[in-house]
Structure 1
Amino acid sequence: MKGICFLCGNYEQLEEHHIFGGARRPASTKYGLTVHLCPWCHRIDADSAHRSGKTADLLHKYGQHKAMTEQRWSREEFIAHFGKNYLDEAQIWGIEHPDDSWENESAFQLVEEGAVLPF
């Protein structure tokens, strides 16, 4: 299918990437934790999701934020499903305390569909 790549924003032929792979792939599917990437961003380029730890970590953070927000999970509930925490305390604080006001909202903002990444 053609569409906009989640990472680079180019209009390309897309491939589905499971944010949490391996043994966690079925859970990624179940909770909609997939993104559509062009072949370069998915597996070909040195900065691709399958070849760059930095890109994989960014996607893991996005996936955890999405899962915790949509499922209304605590950090512990997320870890029970995906085995590890990927977010720092400020990012988790923003998810677990959405009704509290905090001046530095940008401290826990993550990538959203269509955003241009800094690499």
Structure 2
Amino acid sequence: LFGVGDEVNQDDVNDLVSQRDQEKYFFKLKDLTEVQKMFDDMIDESTSVGLCGIVWEGLENKRRAFPWLAKINIVRPPQGSNCMGSLVSSSYILTAAHCFKEGDTPDKITVKLEK
């Protein structure tokens, strides 16, 4: 779990993360520049980008190449909204919070997975 900025309260976060000796699950960072630096230090993109389930426009994507990838469509006139997500268990899809707005209802949301 990553907390960014001075307003992050460590006590509030403690209930959200595992508490194990010798392990760290919460990182409090000063700003987004620190977040970027940390990810740059942690992730070797030359070996990890190929594992990503993101569909890049213009690149050929073979069916079943990314079976965890979920396409989320929200009917919201006049245009609607499309987002992507990742299947993280048999019951849950992880996606960005900004995909949804107040007033979205389950009957207006469809999710499609690669089969």
TM-score, normalised by the number of residues in structure 1 = 0.24
The structure carrying a bigger helix percent of its residues is 1
TM-score, normalised by the number of residues in structure 2 = 0.25
The structure carrying a bigger strand percent of its residues is 2
Q: Which has the higher contact order (CA 8 A, sep 6+)?
A: 1
Larger Rg: 2
